[in-house]
Amino acid sequence: MPGDFGPEQNFEREAELGASGYAAGDMLDLPESVESLDADSFVERTPESQYCVFRAGRERFCLSVLSIEEVVDWPPVTRVPLGPSFLMGVFNLRGSIVPLVDIAFTEGRRTGLLPRHVVVASLSGDGNSNAIRFGIAADEVIGTYAAADDSMLDQVPSEIPHCRGMLRHDDRLALVLDLNKLVEVFPVPVI
């Protein structure tokens, strides 16, 4: 039967076509110019940002992935004598001492139940000071989500001053942390 290839001939034809499925010399049917394309062929995309969503206590929080250095499993933590109640201690991250903040301390954690992860965030300093690096205790890291501007809500619960809005994801809401306000509310020692 003409056009019917055996297994060897199919393999040769695939090698001839290459990954694109077009043989050399095949002409593609492309428009002559951009003006010939109709406006409906372009899809308008809204700008998106990536957020890391995590749970601390009973609340979901999120941070821009650009503010997060990494997420690590719960490390050995050294308590700081006479430290504030929100400061869980400090830990060693590859030779750097990083303060660890519990933003859910007001809810009261069950004794003996430690968080599972640390979200290591960095707040870049201005020209006169270095970046502030600190860890945020997280009970669960839910994942990263791409969010368009329309999925952000400007409403902020008044009792949570370190948030700047809410993010809609998976039919739920997460409080968007503002690192500048977070450092004001939870003044971490710069070590």
Q: What is the pLDDT of residue 124?
A: 82
Output 157 or 129, whichever has higher pLDDT.
157
- Please give the share of the chain, as a percent, with pLDDT higher than 70: 68
How far is residue 11's CA from residue 24's CA, in Å, rounded to a whole number? 17
SS3 84: coil
User: pLDDT tens digit string along 101-137?
Assistant: 998 876 666 666 789 999 999 988 766 667 889 999 9
Rounded to the nearest 10°, the torsion over CA 106, 186, 181, 73 is -80
Which has the closest alpha carbon to 121: 47, 49, 186?
A: 186
Residue keyed to tokens 């004598």 = 81
CB 163, CB 157: distance < 8 Å: yes
Name the band, by pLDDT with cuts 50, 70 and 90, for residue 49: confident
Output 118 or 83, whichever has higher pLDDT.
118
DSSP summary character for residue 39: G
Does residue 143 surpass a pLDDT of 90?
yes
Q: What is the pLDDT of residue 71?
A: 96
Does residue 31 surpass a pLDDT of 90?
no
Does residue 91 surpass a pLDDT of 90?
yes
Q: What is the pLDDT of residue 42?
A: 47
- Work out the mean pLDDT of the chain and round it to a whole number: 78
Options 3.30.565.10, 2.40.50.180, 3.50.50.60, 1.10.287.610; CATH of 48-185: 2.40.50.180
What are the angstrom distances between the C-alpha of 29 and each of 1, 19, 26, 32? 30, 19, 10, 9
Burial class (CB in 10 A: 0-12, 13-18, 19+), 74: middle
How far is residue 178's CA from residue 180's CA, in Å, rounded to a whole number? 6
Name the band, by pLDDT with cuts 50, 70 and 90, for residue 4: low
Global pTM exceeds 0.85? no
What would the DSSP string read from start to end of 112-140?
A: T---SEEEEEEE---TTSPPEEEEEEESE
- Please give the share of the chain, as a percent, with pLDDT higher than 90: 37
Which has the closest alpha carbon to 164: 151, 150, 175?
A: 175
SS3 78: strand
DSSP summary character for residue 85: T
Q: What is the pLDDT of residue 55?
A: 93
What is the residue type of 38?
D
Taking the domains of the chain in order of start, what are their residue ranges?
A: 48-185
Of 28-32, 64-68, 170-174, least confident by mean pLDDT is 28-32
Which has the closest alpha carbon to 185: 155, 160, 157?
A: 160
